[in-house]
Amino acid sequence: MCSGGGGGVSAAINILSAITFLLAFAFLRLQPINDRVYFPKWYLKGARESPSHGGAFVRKFVNLDMRSYLKVLSWMPAALKMPEDELISHAGLDSAVYLRIYLIGLKIFAPITVLAFIILVPVNWTNSSLESSKVQHSDIDKLSISNIPVGSKRFAAHLAMAYVFTFWTCYVLLREYEIVATMRLRFLASEKRRPDQFTVLVRNIPPDPDESIGELVEHFFLVNHPDHYLTHQVVYNANKLDKMVKEKKKMQNWLDYYQLKYERNSSQRPTTKTGFLGCFGSKVDAIEYYTSEIERIEKEETEERGKIMKDPKSVVPAAFVSFRSRWGAAVCAQTQQTSNPTVWLTEWAPEPRDVYWDNLSIPFVYLTVRRLIIAVAFFFLNFFYVIPIAFVQSLANIEGIEKAVPFLKPLIEIIPRTIGEAIPMKATFFITYIMVDGWAGVAGEILRLKPLIIFHLKNFFLVKTEKDREEAMDPGSIGFDSNEPQIQLYFLLGLVYAVVTPFLLPFILIFFGLAYVVYRHQIINVYNQEYESAAAFWPSVHGRIIVALIVSQLLLLGLLSTKGAGQSTPVLLVLPVVTFYFYKYCKNRYEPAFVEYPLQDAMRKDTLERAREPGFDLKGYLMNAYIHPVFKGDEDDEKFSISDEPEAEQVLVATKRQSRRNTPVPSKYNGSESPSLPEIVNDQRL
Amino acid sequence: MCSGGGGGVSAAINILSAITFLLAFAFLRLQPINDRVYFPKWYLKGARESPSHGGAFVRKFVNLDMRSYLKVLSWMPAALKMPEDELISHAGLDSAVYLRIYLIGLKIFAPITVLAFIILVPVNWTNSSLESSKVQHSDIDKLSISNIPVGSKRFAAHLAMAYVFTFWTCYVLLREYEIVATMRLRFLASEKRRPDQFTVLVRNIPPDPDESIGELVEHFFLVNHPDHYLTHQVVYNANKLDKMVKEKKKMQNWLDYYQLKYERNSSQRPTTKTGFLGCFGSKVDAIEYYTSEIERIEKEETEERGKIMKDPKSVVPAAFVSFRSRWGAAVCAQTQQTSNPTVWLTEWAPEPRDVYWDNLSIPFVYLTVRRLIIAVAFFFLNFFYVIPIAFVQSLANIEGIEKAVPFLKPLIEIIPRTIGEAIPMKATFFITYIMVDGWAGVAGEILRLKPLIIFHLKNFFLVKTEKDREEAMDPGSIGFDSNEPQIQLYFLLGLVYAVVTPFLLPFILIFFGLAYVVYRHQIINVYNQEYESAAAFWPSVHGRIIVALIVSQLLLLGLLSTKGAGQSTPVLLVLPVVTFYFYKYCKNRYEPAFVEYPLQDAMRKDTLERAREPGFDLKGYLMNAYIHPVFKGDEDDEKFSISDEPEAEQVLVATKRQSRRNTPVPSKYNGSESPSLPEIVNDQRL
């Protein structure tokens, strides 16, 4: 791996596989039979139809137009052509901003690469330190900092470049943060009316012996947000019911399957076994068995629905509270409600589709405990796993040194200075890694081999209707959770090796360029983003690049101290401090735009909307927005809605606590104190 | 200092001086002539008068009632008698909660002392490690951890005690946090109406080419808080005027002085020199000179007043904005106003007396820069000053060891194990320190020697009227800024040495007990708290005790590892982690009560007040609350008030930007965008 020849072979293999993937994609995407795999986004938007209108039968599956095969890379300019504004309206802001992460990589590393090759490569190359040493090395290492003798004055060039690279990276990050913040604010301002703009999720509603959760919520917000409260929706613990609905759906699928089987071969009624996985137990008629099972579950379901309705314990201490205006909701989401900061917690409600209903029924205390457990587990994972692995890894890589110096003891006394040569020499490993994981990986992404095979299998065996076909081709959302850490690794590698081994930079640059084009193509043609967070993830992307930058600065500091340039430590120590202050500045300046909803923006949107649609029935619009999906479209719907509108001008907050009227002792809970004020509220208003 | 004899002598001296101070106080406080020095608080409250009603002339100055001298310590039970509720109404919540810091010291250390003496002292004492070593030691050290041989199994007792002490300290801290939070909330709820409850300080108002700051503020809040905005007060940069007023006052004082001199000796007109400090320059008639100087300054002052009024540049980009209700102010203080988080910053306004006017005119950017400079300076102070000092200090204290081991080199190879003995042995130094700074210092505090002398000097030479006498006896506020760090040092010492050298604990305990009684006496009889923060300082007191606890845990960890008990490290590492989580928990649970103003509390107070005083003129009440003191009681007052009340129901937000009506380009600044909405607001309302 360390020798120049080995590196060349692996490079050739990887470049070849990347090119093969790209060629295969260029061929496969032209075949009409694959159209739904490579352009599902357009089908889902209704802008494309199966390309089989008329013509020969074979044309339905194979593209016979030979000229189209000549333009192997035609998809690349096509992917780049769509302007960003159109991209946002086509695929959402999240996707457009996601692409900017690759763009930021290009913006950071293109000038750094040029500068490093003009200045650092000649500085490193015009030495002969490695040739005279016994350490194994490749030709690449001659271009790296390893080739500079210990204590050389040439390290001044690396120091200067570390400053230049840091300032350039920070400048690009600042510019991008500003751009993305502006994009987000513009996007939010242009968004259509959505229930979550008017709604706040309230958690940890304290129990009250006299009132149900629903009554308590209504009283609390009528008293404390009298001019703004509109309606609310309590949250039912419907996890059991949800499980039943899912079970019924599964049974229905099996029933469909056996009915289809019986239709195809009506001579024999299909059978199944009632035990585990249909493999054990007594043999029964499959269609009859599943029909009876579905009936049983339906009965249980009706029972469970009734139980949820009647049992006050099935209401969890959380509620979605909606307000008359975005202003009212913004105020409620950003303020503390009571003097006890652990109850009546308010936060912006997520998009209705984005609510994870199962977790709403977890008591808040458990959530805190879970968070603590995860933090402790994370700490021990790092402490007992990552650190030893890194240590062993660093030992394993000095095997080349061990050959030259066979005795362990003198090696230990030499392990500070040789590390100064060994760390940069790991660059060859990472160059191979970039080619395998980065280049070939991205080329594989555009080929979509797995979805291609699965689509054709499903299409052949399962698809009955057009709806089935749409479900089979659904590409889902982009894998942000797994892609983003990968990109961060490349940022880390690029920043660490920019000063140490500039030869690695072009590989990083090609990765970012290729990935940008490929993912732009995929976002335009393939993925169908389900939720929209309006780029809420940007602060963490920004923060992680800064962490990578600080890690690179500290590594350079350690490296130079082992290379006899220890006097540079104070000069280099300035960099992480300045970078950290840059991070703090950016956090103060831009992060609020990603977290809070400013009152001015809320008021502006409210005012414009009221002027445009004066008579809009907001209450009707919000009524059923936050109902658990299992109750949606149900005949019981009306039971879950608040019966009549409390008129803002003539509110009379009713209370059930007649019995306490004469007792001076206040209620134990904060929440139950508030409804003792209604008489005064009422006097004031009437 | 290390030998038992030396320690005994210093202890005797310190105890003697403390007793002398207390006896002197017991004698001096009984003399009528000192009454105003030892009981000024009662004079200021109007509850006490000079005790010179009738009787012999000498009785006016000396107490001749011999029986009263017998009760030397009678002030102690008297100081403890006043119940806490009465103390709060007598001296404010800040003072009452300040006393609780001493009380917390007693609560933490009393059980710890008992436990340490029952368990740790016998464990340490029944060894003979120090007797066989060559290190110099005192008898006290035999009771400390130094006396336990390296690698002994007895360290298990210290480990267990470290756990017990940590949990006890955390328990006391938690209980106290809860008590103080409750006290604060009750205090805030019972507070009378104050302008700062309705007012928010707005900073970083963005400049606008079309409107003045005042107009801009009014438009912004009328548009974005239409139902709640009441009035506002712009802030003038009156620093120059302020300086003139002070200069005039100084000149007036000199004039008074010379006029008094002339009255006493009318044969000769007093003279002064016009140069530096009245020592150089030409000789002039003093009374004429100061009269003309005052006239000159008065002229300049009038000019400056006119200039401030006319020049829009004298208005700084900050304003005090008042709301119709506490609810409205709480909302504005807790929310973000615009999408740019660096402009229109809102926070609770301080009490009018508590505003530091000079700093309001500092631009916000400068404040950030100043904060950065302070942070950097603090870092370097610690890095380049405290750490080397601590290092040298630790070297200086091993001089005892150096005598036994004269060669430096072997010493270094031994400087890990002996430190395990040397650190506990520093306890003798700290015991002396506690006696000097703690015991004698607190006894000196009650004696008030400096204020006593100064009062008598002033009374003899300067006091002319009763008002002068009141000014001369004014004791000011308690020195919280200098006392609190001192208390924190004792917490640190107590927690560090609780496990290491329990013998130090009784000294700490006596300090806390004595200081509690003394400061309770002082708060009841002497100090006159000027501001009231409603115990807003408690979170930092709590946080600092936790820091001391974590430092003590880390020191014990280091100490045990040098005493051959390195295998205990993982067991001890748990403590700082758990303590840190405890800190986080407390921060989440209680700190909001000290930072935010919950909407429920605001609404409750608003509602009650509206019911009690329906016709109260809030606007008139708030009108001049936040005017710079130099304008107060001025004939120009009306120029600084808003002319007429904007009626909430018929608001029409006027705008001057006629010229922009037809231009579609939005203004560059956020603030100036809002006033483009008034027509819509108006349409909605009418």
Choosing among B223, B224, B583, which should be mutated to test the A contact, i.e. which has the most A CBs within 10 A?
B224
Choosing among B335, B371, B616, B651, which should be mutated to test the A contact, i.e. which has the most A CBs within 10 A?
B335
Choose among A334, A593, A604: nearest Cβ to B341.
A593
Contact A225 B684 (CB under 8 A): no
- Residue A515 pLDDT exceeds 90: yes
Provide, as residue numbers in chain B, all residues whose Cβ is less than 8 Å from the Cβ of A336: 334, 592, 596-599
Cβ of B488 under 8 Å from any chain A Cβ?
no
The confidence score (pLDDT) of residue B511 equals 93
Contact A342 B588 (CB under 8 A): yes
Instruction: Specify the DSSP class assigned to residue A325.
Output: S
The distance of A101 to chain B (nearest Cα, Å) reads 23
d(CA A71, CA A65): 12
How large is the average pLDDT for residues A245-268? 83
Choose among A339, A599, A681: nearest Cβ to B337.
A599
- Residue A643 pLDDT exceeds 60: no
Cβ of A610 under 8 Å from any chain B Cβ?
yes
Choose among A604, A674, A680: nearest Cβ to B608.
A680
Contact B599 A336 (CB under 8 A): yes
Cβ of A598 under 8 Å from any chain B Cβ?
yes
Cβ of B371 under 8 Å from any chain A Cβ?
no
Instruction: Determine what percent of chain A is predicted with pLDDT higher than 90.
Output: 19
d(CA B337, CA B640): 26
What is the per-residue pLDDT across A422-448, written as a single tens digit (0 to 9) for each? 566 677 788 888 888 888 888 888 888
d(CA B642, CA B108): 55
Instruction: Give chain B's residues under pLDDT 70.
Output: 1-7, 47, 49-61, 64, 66, 70, 72, 128-139, 275-279, 385-414, 416-425, 463-467, 633-686
Query: Could you give the angle at which helices B84-91 and B93-115 cross, rounded to 10 degrees?
Result: 140
Provide, as residue numbers in chain A, all residues whose Cβ is less than 8 Å from the Cβ of B342: 588-589
Pick from B231, B215, B175, B99: nearest CA to B590: B175
- Residue A484 pLDDT exceeds 50: yes
Range picked from A70-84, A332-346, B416-430 for highest mean pLDDT: A332-346
The confidence score (pLDDT) of residue B465 equals 66
Choose among B225, B227, B677: nearest Cβ to A607.
B677
The confidence score (pLDDT) of residue B413 equals 46
Contact B335 A599 (CB under 8 A): yes
Structure tokens at A617: 């029935």
How large is the average pLDDT for residues A510-533? 89
Cβ of A342 under 8 Å from any chain B Cβ?
yes
Contact B338 A598 (CB under 8 A): yes
Cβ of A204 under 8 Å from any chain B Cβ?
no
- Residue A8 pLDDT exceeds 80: no
Cβ of B674 under 8 Å from any chain A Cβ?
yes
The answer to whether the beta carbons of residues A580 and A171 sit under 8 Å apart is: no
ipTM of the complex: 0.71
* Residue with more model confidence, A235 or B675: A235
d(CA A508, CA A490): 7
The confidence score (pLDDT) of residue A645 equals 41
Report how far Cα A347 is from the mean position of its chain's Cα atoms: 20
Instruction: Specify the DSSP class assigned to residue A343.
Output: S
d(CA B209, CA B657): 10
Nearest CA in chain A to B615: A684
The confidence score (pLDDT) of residue B6 equals 53
Give the containing element (helix H, strand E) for B199: strand B199-203
Sign of CA dihedral A575, A578, A581, A582: negative
A59 pLDDT band, cuts 50/70/90, is low
The answer to whether the beta carbons of residues A635 and A648 sit under 8 Å apart is: no
The confidence score (pLDDT) of residue B152 equals 81
Cβ of A133 under 8 Å from any chain B Cβ?
no
Instruction: For chain A, give the mean pLDDT.
Output: 78
Q: For chain B, first and last CA: distance in Å?
A: 85
Nearest CA in chain A to B678: A607
Provide, as residue numbers in chain A, all residues whose Cβ is less than 8 Å from the Cβ of B335: 330-331, 334-335, 596, 598-599
Choose among A334, A341, A342: nearest Cβ to B334.
A334
Nearest CA in chain B to A227: B227
Contact B223 A603 (CB under 8 A): yes
Contact B593 A341 (CB under 8 A): yes
Contact A680 B607 (CB under 8 A): yes
d(CA A488, CA A496): 12
Around Cβ B194, how many Cβ atoms within 10 Å?
A: 13
| Count of A-B CB contacts under 8 Å | 116
Provide, as residue numbers in chain A, all residues whose Cβ is less than 8 Å from the Cβ of B338: 598-601
Nearest CA in chain A to B590: A341
How large is the average pLDDT for residues A535-550? 93
Structure-token match 């040789």, residue found: A418
Provide, as residue numbers in chain B, all residues whose Cβ is less than 8 Å from the Cβ of A225: 599
- Residue A468 pLDDT exceeds 80: no
- Residue A676 pLDDT exceeds 70: no
List, as ranges, residues 562-591 from B with C-beta within 8 Å of A.
581, 588-591
Q: In B87-198, which ranges are E strands?
A: none
* Residue with more model confidence, B298 or A368: B298
The confidence score (pLDDT) of residue A416 equals 44
Choose among B601, B611, B684: nearest Cβ to A683.
B611
Provide, as residue numbers in chain A, all residues whose Cβ is less than 8 Å from the Cβ of B601: 338-339
Contact A334 B338 (CB under 8 A): no
Choose among B337, B596, B601: nearest Cβ to A600.
B337
Cβ of B191 under 8 Å from any chain A Cβ?
no
How large is the average pLDDT for residues A281-309? 87
The confidence score (pLDDT) of residue B115 equals 94
Provide, as residue numbers in chain A, all residues whose Cβ is less than 8 Å from the Cβ of B674: 600, 604
The confidence score (pLDDT) of residue A642 equals 36
Domain ranges of chain B: 4-191+369-594, 195-350+613-686
**B29 burial class (0-12, 13-18, 19+ CB within 10 angstroms)?**
buried
